[in-house]
C-alpha cells in the first residue's frame, strides 16, 4: 500500500479534479468489513473525503493535496530565506524524489514565477549523479556558498566597549582579558571558489614562557558573534609548538583554506620556520549549496 501510495502521490496536481483510488492490502482488508470501515469514516471529519468500495479506498483531491501542505510551506519558506540572502540567483533546480511530484512543481512555479524553474529528467537520481561527478572531478563545482561563519577562540585585552563583562578575567600577569573571544575568519553566505578561499592570521601564546599554542576552529550559524557561545560547534584544533631554546614571545603565521570538503590549516613558526599542518573534517557541518552550486 505504501509503494502504491508513493506512485499515486506523484500524480497529485493543482488542477487534478478526480479522486484517488488505491487497493487495500488483503491483511488489512480482513481486519474490518466494508460496513465497519464506512461506519468509522462516517463518524469522522473525513466522511466527505474518504470512501470504501470492497477492497479499494477512495480519497478526494482536496485530502490528497492537504498531505503536502506542511512540507510545501516549509520548502517555500526556506527558499525565500535563501533568496533574501543570495541576490544573484535566477534559476531554481528541483532535484530529489519529491521533485517528481506534479504538485510540488506547480507550487514552486506559482510561488517563484520570476525565476527559471528547471526540472531535470530523472530528478530523483540527480543528487546521486552529482555526487558521483564530484567524486571523479571535484573541479566540476566551481563555487560554494558557506553555510556557517568560521572563527577561532582567542583571549585579547579586555575592552569594555566591545566585550561582555561576564567574559572578563585577569591572567597570571595581572592583565585583564576577554575569554573565548570569537575572532571571525570568514562569514556565512560567502561565495568561495572550489579551489579554496585563503584566510591568514598571526597567532602567539599569551605568555613568554609558553612553548605551545592551541588554535581551536569553531563554526556557527550566526553572522555577528562576539564570544564563543552555545551556538558554536568545535570543528577541530591545531597545536603549534617550539623547542625549549626559543625564548620570548614567538609568532606563528596561520593559513586557513575554506571552500573544499575539508578545511586545511597550516601554521609556520617565525622563529624556527617550522610548519604545522592539519585537515579538519567538515563532514558533520557539510557545506550546502544555496539553490544549487555554480558549475563551470
- Specify whether 254 is located in the same domain as 175: yes
Residue 288 confidence (pLDDT) above 60? no
- Nearest CA-CA partner of 210 in 173, 169, 255, 178: 173
Distance (Å, rounded) from C-alpha 209 to C-alpha 134?
47
> 153 and 287 in one domain?
yes
Bridge partners of residue 255, in order along the sequence: 200, 266
Q: Which of 219, 214, 200, 213 is nearest to 288 (CA)?
A: 219
pLDDT of 268 > 90? The answer is: yes
Q: Do 99 and 179 sit in the same domain of this protein?
A: no
Per-residue confidence (pLDDT) for residue 165, from 0 to 100: 95
Q: What is the pTM of this model?
A: 0.67
Please report the pLDDT score of residue 262 as a whole number: 86
161: exposed, middle or buried (Cβ count in 10 Å: 0-12, 13-18, 19+): exposed
Q: What is the pLDDT, as a whole number, of residue 22?
A: 78
Same domain? 76 vs 60: no
Mean pLDDT of 91-101: 88
- Rounded CA-CA distance 144/164 in Å is 34
| Predicted confidence band of residue 29 (pLDDT cuts 50, 70, 90) | low
End-to-end Cα spacing for the chain: 43
Q: How many structural domains comprise the chain?
A: 3
- Indicate if 193 and 122 belong to the same structural domain: no
Task: Dump pLDDT digits (tens) for 182-212.
Answer: 999 999 988 898 888 999 999 999 888 899 8
Alpha-carbon distance of 106 to 91, in angstroms, equals 16
Does position 285 have pLDDT exceeding 70, yes or no?
no
For residues 291 and 86, give the distance between their C-alpha atoms in angstroms, rounded to a whole number: 9
Residue 292: the pLDDT is: 34
Q: Hey, which residues does 218 pair with through a beta bridge?
A: 151, 234
60 and 41 inside one domain? yes
Question: Considering the chain, what is the average pLDDT of its residues?
Answer: 84
Query: Per-residue pLDDT tens for 47-56?
Result: 777 877 777 7
Q: Assess whether 164 and 249 both reside in one domain.
A: yes
pLDDT at 17: 66
Is 230 or 282 the better-scoring residue by pLDDT? 230
Write b or e for each residue in 12-37: b if 16 or more Cβ atoms lie within 10 A of its Cβ, otherwise e: bbeeeeeebeeebeeeebeeeeeeeb
Span 217-247, pLDDT tens digits: 999 999 899 999 999 999 999 999 989 888 8
User: What CATH number is attached to the domain comprising 235?
Assistant: 2.60.34.10
What percentage of the chain carries pLDDT values higher than 70? 92
Q: Which of 25, 50, 66 is at the close of a domain?
A: 66
* Shared domain check, 128 and 166: no
Tens of pLDDT along 120-156? 888 888 888 888 888 888 777 788 888 899 999 999 9
Q: Please give the average per-residue pLDDT across 73-84, as a whole number.
A: 90
The C-alpha cell of 38 is what?
A: 464506512
Residues, the chain? 296
- 108 shares its domain with 232: no
Which of 109, 136, 163 corresponds to the end of one domain? 136
Range of the domain at 13: 2-66
Q: What is the pLDDT of residue 296?
A: 35
Q: Can you tell me the distance from the alpha carbon of 46 to that of 37, in angstroms, rounded to the nearest whole number?
A: 12
Amino acid at each position: 500500500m505504501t509503494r502504491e501510495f508513493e506512485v499515486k502521490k506523484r500524480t497529485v496536481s493543482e488542477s487534478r479534479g478526480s479522486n484517488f483510488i488505491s487497493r487495500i492490502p488483503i491483511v488489512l482488508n480482513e481486519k474490518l468489513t466494508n460496513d465497519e470501515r464506512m461506519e468509522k469514516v462516517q463518524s469522522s471529519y473525513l466522511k466527505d473525503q474518504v470512501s470504501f468500495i470492497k477492497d479499494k479506498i477512495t480519497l478526494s483531491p482536496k485530502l490528497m493535496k492537504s498531505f503536502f501542505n506542511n512540507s510545501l510551506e516549509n520548502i517555500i519558506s526556506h527558499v525565500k530565506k535563501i533568496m533574501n540572502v543570495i541576490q544573484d540567483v535566477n534559476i531554481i533546480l528541483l532535484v530529489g524524489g519529491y521533485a517528481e511530484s506534479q504538485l510540488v512543481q506547480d507550487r514552486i512555479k506559482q510561488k517563484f514565477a520570476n525565476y527559471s524553474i528547471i526540472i531535470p529528467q530523472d530528478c530523483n537520481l540527480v543528487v546521486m549523479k552529482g555526487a558521483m561527478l564530484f567524486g571523479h572531478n571535484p573541479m566540476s563545482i566551481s563555487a560554494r556558498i558557506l553555510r556557517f561563519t568560521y572563527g577561532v577562540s582567542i583571549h585579547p585585552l579586555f575592552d569594555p566597549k566591545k566585550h561582555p563583562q561576564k567574559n572578563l578575567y585577569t591572567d597570571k600577569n595581572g592583565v585583564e582579558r576577554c575569554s573565548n573571544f570569537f575572532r571571525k575568519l570568514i562569514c556565512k553566505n560567502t561565495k568561495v571558489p572550489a579551489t579554496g578561499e585563503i584566510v591568514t592570521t598571526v597567532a602567539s601564546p599569551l605568555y613568554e614562557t609558553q612553548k605551545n599554542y592551541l588554535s581551536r576552529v569553531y563554526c556557527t550559524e550566526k553572522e555577528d558573534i562576539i564570544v564563543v557561545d552555545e551556538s558554536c560547534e568545535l570543528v577541530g584544533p591545531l597545536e603549534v609548538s617550539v623547542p625549549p631554546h626559543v625564548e620570548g614571545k614567538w609568532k606563528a603565521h596561520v593559513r586557513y583554506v575554506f571552500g573544499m570538503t575539508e578545511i586545511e590549516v597550516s601554521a609556520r613558526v617565525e622563529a624556527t620556520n617550522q610548519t604545522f599542518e592539519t585537515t579538519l573534517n567538515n563532514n558533520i557541518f557539510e557545506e550546502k549549496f544555496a539553490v544549487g552550486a555554480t558549475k563551470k
